[in-house]
Each structure stands twice: as C-alpha cells, then as structure tokens.
C-alpha cells in the first residue's frame, strides 16, 4: 500500500515537473520567435511610421515594402554582390581549410608546431587592427571598393580557421592511410581518395559556414566599400537604412529586405542542420 502511494506521488511529481518544463519551453520558443514574427509583420505594414511602431498589427497591410525594395532601392545589386562574394569565398575557403587541416593533421614536418603556434598567436590580434594596412595594400593593387578585394580579405587568412576541420581529420584512423601507402598510394592520393570521401560532414559544415559568413559580416566590408554604395553587401547597405536620417522612411523596406535575406539561409540551415550540429559539437569538444 505504502509503496503504491509512493509510486503514485512520484508519478504525479514527474507529471507536474514535465508540465513546468513544457511551459518554460513554450515561453522560450515564443520569446525567441516573436521578434522574427514581428519583423515579418512589419515588412507587410503600410503604416509608414518608421521604427516607432505603435501596435503589433498594422492598420494597413500591403506588399509595398517589397515592391519598393526591388524597384526603388539598390537592394538587388547588394544582394548580387553578397551572393557572388559568398560563393567565391565558400569555394576558396573550403579548399584552403581542407588543405591546411590535412597537412597539419596527417603530415609531420619540422615547421608544423611553429606554424600552429604562429597561427594561434596571430589569432589573438584583433582582426580589425590589420585592416588599415590591408586597405593600403589593396589600394596599391587597385582593389579597394572592389568585390575581388573583399573576397581576398575574407579568404586570405582562412587557413587560420583550421581547428575544427583538423580535429575531425585527427579522428580518422591513421591505419587507413598506412594501408593505402603500403599499396603504393602517395600522400596526394590518400588525401583525395581516402580522407576527403570520409570527411563529407566536415566539408558540408565548412561550406555552410563559409557561405553564410559574408552575409553577416559588417566590419571589413563597411570599411573597404566606404563611399561606393554600388559595391555594398547587404549588411552594410541595410545598416544605412536604419541610420538616424533614413530610418523613418526605410524601416518597412528594411524589414522586407531582412525577410528576403533570411529565408534562403534559414532554409539552408534547416536542410543541413545535422551537419551544422555535428561540426559545432565536434569543434567545441576538441577545441
């Protein structure tokens, strides 16, 4: 009898605690999603009140913001710029990261440790410190206010982000390489035929990260493209819209642009969520 009651009370406790957890999770989901829902609603608003919106739901619903976005503004140019930059960055950065990671993970040479230490120390300098000098180097070769210059800035130092990928390569058993090398394969063959096919999750992760980074990067692109709106990326251009002078006129357009920018990336993430989680978790543990 006593046992049964104890069991029942335990069940009850379990149930109430579950209800509490559900409540918390629902609150969290709402808090996390509501700003984006508001963003979406505002993008359809015809109220033209700028950022000082008085109510959640607008009085007038229209697609005007979207129409203005594509006809009145330079958004399409910016979108195209960002797309081109991110595609090139994605390809180059992935190749560089894979090559660096393989060399540092699989091969043993005299400069290996010094190189890794050097990159660790370089990583501690604030990235923007070097920007002034990079700007003048690019100016000397005539690549400021130029998309190729931006691509160079984004990709040139990508070798320094080898950690996660190397961590993955480290987990691939060495015996695989050795077996192949006994069969007469050279290092290059091992890399292309054995390591790369096994590295699919980490390649997808690297590609995903490299592709999405230029969409959110503001610091370098704003400095490099200063004064030439036709070369802006979306982040730089949209920041202009919410500056003090323009925000009242452009807030609706800003919301519409945010929706247009976000949707493809969100879809990409949902599609590749598994790889993203794998990469992030692996990187966190191995460091």
Tokens of 30: 């709402």
What's the min distance (Å) between Cβ of 230 and other proteins? 20
The per-residue DSSP string of 178-229 comes to: HHHHHTT--HHHIIIIIIHHHTHHHHHHHHHHHHHHHHH--HHHHHHTTT-G
In whole angstroms, the minimum distance from the beta carbon of 130 to other proteins comes to: 3
Q: Does 182 bind other proteins (CB under 8 A)?
A: no
Query: What is the smallest separation between the CB atom of 153 and other proteins, expressed in angstroms?
Result: 7
CA atoms within 13 A on the CB side of 252: 22
Compute the least distance from the CB of residue 125 to other proteins, in Å. Answer: 5
Q: Which is nearer to other proteins, 114 or 173 (CB)?
A: 114
Phi, psi of 61 (to 5 degrees): -100, 130
Quote the tokens at residue 76: 């399409």
Q: For residue 106, what are the β-bridge partners?
A: none
* Shortest spacing between CB 5 and other proteins, in angstroms: 19
Which residues, 6 to 45, sit near other proteins by CB under 8 A? 14, 18, 21-22, 24-25, 28-29, 31-33, 35-36, 38-39
Does residue 175 belong to the site contacting other proteins (CB under 8 A)?
no
- Residue 127 as a binder of other proteins (CB under 8 A): the answer is yes
Give the separation between CA 269 and CA 208, rounded to whole angstroms.
8
Contact status: 223 vs other proteins (CB under 8 A) = yes
By CB under 8 A, residue 153 contacts other proteins: yes
- Closest contact distance (angstroms) between CB of 39 and other proteins is 6
Instruction: Show contacts with other proteins in window 49-78 (CB under 8 A).
Output: 51-56
Stretch that binds other proteins, among 1-9, 61-69, 105-113, 195-203 (CB under 8 A): 105-113
> Is-contact 193 179, C-beta < 8 A?
no
Query: Of the candidates 16, 72, 128, 230, which one interacts with other proteins according to CB under 8 A?
Result: 128
Confirm or reject binding of residue 130 to other proteins (CB under 8 A): yes
Task: Give min distance, CB of 118 to other proteins, in A.
Answer: 8
* Number of amino acids touching other proteins (CB under 8 A): 92
The token pair at 202 is: 């980490």
Helix 131-140 and helix 147-156: axis angle, to 10°? 130
| Inter-helix orientation angle 75-106/147-156, to 10° | 30
Beta bridge partners of 45: 61
- 235 near other proteins, judged by CB under 8 A: yes
Instruction: Determine, following the binding rule CB under 8 A, whether residue 184 of this chain makes contact with other proteins.
Output: no
């Amino acid at each position: 009898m006593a046992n049964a009651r104890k069991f029942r009370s335990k069940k009850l406790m379990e149930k109430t605690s579950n209800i509490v957890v559900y409540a918390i999770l629902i609150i969290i989901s709402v808090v996390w999603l509501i700003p984006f829902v508001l963003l979406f609603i505002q993008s359809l608003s015809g109220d033209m009140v700028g950022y000082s919106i008085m109510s959640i739901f607008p009085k007038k619903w229209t697609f005007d913001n979207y129409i203005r976005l594509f006809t009145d503004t330079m958004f399409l140019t910016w979108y195209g710029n960002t797309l081109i930059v991110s595609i090139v960055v994605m390809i180059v950065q992935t190749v560089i990261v894979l090559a660096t990671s393989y060399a540092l993970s699989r091969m043993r040479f005299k400069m290996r440790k010094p190189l890794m230490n050097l990159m660790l120390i370089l990583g501690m300098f604030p990235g923007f410190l070097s920007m002034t000098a990079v700007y003048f180097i690019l100016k000397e070769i005539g690549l400021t206010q130029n998309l190729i210059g931006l691509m160079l800035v984004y990709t040139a130092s990508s070798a320094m982000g080898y950690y996660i990928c190397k961590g993955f390569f480290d987990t691939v058993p060495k015996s695989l390489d050795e077996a192949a090398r006994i069969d007469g394969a050279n290092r290059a063959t091992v890399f292309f035929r054995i390591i790369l096919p096994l590295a699919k999750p980490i390649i997808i992760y690297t590609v995903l990260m490299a592709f999405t980074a230029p969409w959110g990067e503001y610091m370098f692109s704003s400095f490099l493209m200063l004064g030439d709106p036709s070369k802006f990326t979306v982040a730089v251009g949209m920041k202009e819209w919410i500056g003090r002078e323009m925000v009242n006129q452009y807030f609706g357009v800003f919301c519409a642009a945010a929706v247009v920018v976000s949707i493809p990336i969100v879809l990409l993430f949902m599609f590749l969520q598994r790889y993203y989680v794998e990469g992030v978790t692996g990187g966190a543990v191995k460091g």
